[in-house]
Structure 1
Amino acid sequence: MDSSAPSIATPNVAPLTLVSHALCPYVQRAAIVLAEKGLPFERRDIDLAAKPDWFLKISPLGKTPVLLVGDEAIFESAVICEYLDETTPARLHPADALQRARHRSWIEFGSALLNLIGAFYNAGDEQALNARAAEIHTRFAQIESALGDGPFFAGPHFSLVDAVFGPVFRYFDVLDRIADFGFWTGLPKLQRWRQALAARPSVLGAVHADYPERLHRFLQARGSALSRRMMSVAASDRA
């Protein structure tokens, strides 16, 4: 590795280094779990548009996050989160095998939802943008039907599912300021869950303080229907 690479510690010490990107929601999952477990770690952001050689050596898929544990590199957020949960106390996954499988199913649902959010902000025209917004609402309604009394997915106990959906909902802190796409209509349980996650210290601390501004710039630069909406809103604000 070159001089800008994270240092690899001796196996006996094995400090944790989270190789990340400032906007990546999958990185946020790992950062949330690390915080929930009270584990100290170094965070090293990289530019995914100019991936350094040392990163490509430890990330076979060229994606973030990667967790360095001593001289071992673990990639893929679900694997990282489960490793952290299995090797430290205060488990975030249910003890019951069936409930654990159910939670894993909703984690996969959360990943699919992130793909849909990407399709939304990359939509090329208004028709596609509105169609993706309606799909997001449909997916949100499915989650609504799975929620109990809260405040978290599994009731009073924060779980890995919560660590996955905190970053999902964070997108909407910015998206909701652009226009009312009807994402939350008729979904009171989901809104309460979103609010509970937004107030959780581990979720708050999983991004840099300027995350909303960074995300706003990222969305505005997409050249998409949403980008054009954002420019229209900005022009109206200046008028």
Structure 2
Amino acid sequence: MSAPLVLVSHALCPYVQRAAIVLAEKGVPFERRDIDLADKPSWFLKVSPLGKTPVLLVGDVAIFESAVICEYLDETARPRLHPLSALERARHRSWVEFGSALLNVIGAFYNAADEAALAGRAGEIRARLERLEEALGSGPYFAGQAFSIVDAVFGPVFRYFDVFDSIADFGFWRGLPRVAQWRSALANRPSVADAVRADYPELLRGFLLARQSALARRLRGQLSRQCGPA
């Protein structure tokens, strides 16, 4: 790639992380430019018609939507992260969509208003993870030994659970050895680990605490117990 690349990002956005992981896997140099989505600069609104991150600036050209960005990068830089077979590429793209749908359920989980809704959303997440268990092979990655865009999608998905698991055991992982192995392999992949800032867990906890949700109340209770009486 000859044009300079700028990844316009937000520190907590899992879709930004996808693009950052793919860029890292391909060894493509880029500048990362974080913005505040609560106070979007005017230049950002000009390059992002949907007002969302990520946006990849390729010289003067803006590409938005994470799936489109990842596809563009896979078409223009080596190594290829999609399979060579058209059928396998289609299958991988299907599981990319599955990952996006799982992010929606995760959002519903951390926004659940009460304990009953929280338990219901946890059950939905568990059901999605069970489907993943059925789809995975021997690992360590989705397609075996080769890292793919599906892996770039699920690394950020699993990162949420590092914080969720520190709040309580919601029964996500029992009896899912393949998913657990995949999660661990992705967490230890440098491109995945480096896709967020070092203070990501603290930022995510702050994001959760700011919500009026059952999970936020659990987290506030946990922090209160850790601090002890005044």
TM-score, scaled relative to structure 1: 0.94
Q: Deviations over 1:102-157 (max 9, x none)?
A: 00000000000000000000000000000000110000000000000000000000
Determine the structure 1 residue equivalent to 2:24: 35
- Matches of 2:79 and 2:54, distance apart in 1: 23
Determine the structure 1 residue equivalent to 2:214: 225
- Matches of 2:30 and 2:120, distance apart in 1: 41
- Select which of 165, 168, 182 maps to 2:171: 182
- What's the offset of the Cα at 1:236? 1.9
What pairs with 1:1-239 in structure 2 (closer than 5 Å)? 13-239=2-228
**SS of residue in 1 equivalent to 2:56:** strand
Number of residue-to-residue matches in the alignment:
228
- Matches of 1:215 and 1:204, distance apart in 2: 15
- Matches of 1:24 and 1:163, distance apart in 2: 13
Q: Deviations over 1:169-215 (max 9, x none)?
A: 00001110000000111101000000000000000110001000000
Identity of aligned residues (%): 73
**SS of residue in 2 equivalent to 1:131:** helix
- Matches of 2:99 and 2:212, distance apart in 1: 26
RMSD over aligned CA atoms reads 0.9
Identify unmatched segments of 5+ residues in structure 1.
Answer: 1-11
- What's the offset of the Cα at 1:238? 2.5
- What's the offset of the Cα at 1:90? 1.1
- Matches of 1:187 and 1:126, distance apart in 2: 24
**SS of residue in 2 equivalent to 1:30:** helix
Amino acid at match of 1:101: A
Runs of 4+ in structure 1 deviating by more than 4 angstroms, as ranges, are none
- Matches of 1:151 and 1:98, distance apart in 2: 22
**SS of residue in 1 equivalent to 2:223:** helix
Determine the structure 2 residue equivalent to 1:8: none
- What's the offset of the Cα at 1:221? 0.8
Q: Deviations over 1:7-30 (max 9, x none)?
A: xxxxx9411000000000000000
Q: Deviations over 1:32-68 (max 9, x none)?
A: 0000000000000000001111000000000000000
TM-score, scaled relative to structure 2: 0.98
- Matches of 2:63 and 2:76, distance apart in 1: 14
- Matches of 1:153 and 1:189, distance apart in 2: 10
- Matches of 2:27 and 2:47, distance apart in 1: 25
